[in-house]
Amino acid sequence: MLGLADEYSKVMGGGISSDTGRQQALDILKAAYSKGQLSGAITVMRSDIAARKKAIIGKNRYLLQEYGEPQTGQAQPSSRSGQTGQAQNAPQIPAGATGKAKASDGLWHYHDAKGNDLGVAQ
């Protein structure tokens, strides 16, 4: 959890991690973990990170070309069991994906925070 807290602190701190930011992220995770709600806390953190990414990229055409369109439809955990319909047909975003970018093959690929290719986006 420390690694996640450190990365979250870096993103929310403009690229610089601080002890305070790291501790705040750990507090969010620990409080949720003790209540069995870790998945929800991580979803909130992912939303925060996606919002930060969108704010940084803005309408800059060069950043949009490099990092792709901002992710708006992150998979959200369902509060209803047995949900059917669109959720089953929705494209599966690989775990750890932070965005999409056009690769050398001309196709859009998912990538993680470190720029590692996670496969073709469908």
Same domain, 66 and 40: no
Domain for residue 120, yes or no? Answer: yes
C-alpha span between 121 and 117 (Å, rounded): 10
Same domain, 24 and 41: yes
**List of residues 6+ apart from 107 with CB closer than 8 A:** 120, 121
What range does the domain containing 116 cover? Answer: 60-70+83-122
* pLDDT at residue 78, rounded to an integer: 41
Domain for residue 43, yes or no? Answer: yes
* pLDDT at residue 77, rounded to an integer: 43
Q: What is the mean pLDDT of residues 85-97?
A: 64
Does this model's pTM top 0.95? My answer is no
**3-state secondary structure (DSSP) of residue 35:** coil
* pLDDT at residue 75, rounded to an integer: 44
Residue 14 has pLDDT above 50, yes or no: yes
Same domain, 31 and 88: no
Same domain, 118 and 98: yes
Looking at residue 71, the DSSP 8-state letter turns out to be P
For 118, phi and psi rounded to 5 degrees? -110, 10
* pLDDT at residue 66, rounded to an integer: 84
Same domain, 18 and 38: yes
Above pLDDT 90, what percent of the chain? 0
* pLDDT at residue 16, rounded to an integer: 81
Q: What is the mean pLDDT of residues 92-120?
A: 82
**List of residues 6+ apart from 110 with CB closer than 8 A:** 93, 94, 97, 99, 100, 117, 118, 119, 120, 121
- Tell me the per-residue pLDDT of 39-89, one tens digit each, with 9 for 90 and over: 777 888 888 888 888 888 888 888 888 887 655 544 444 444 444 444 445
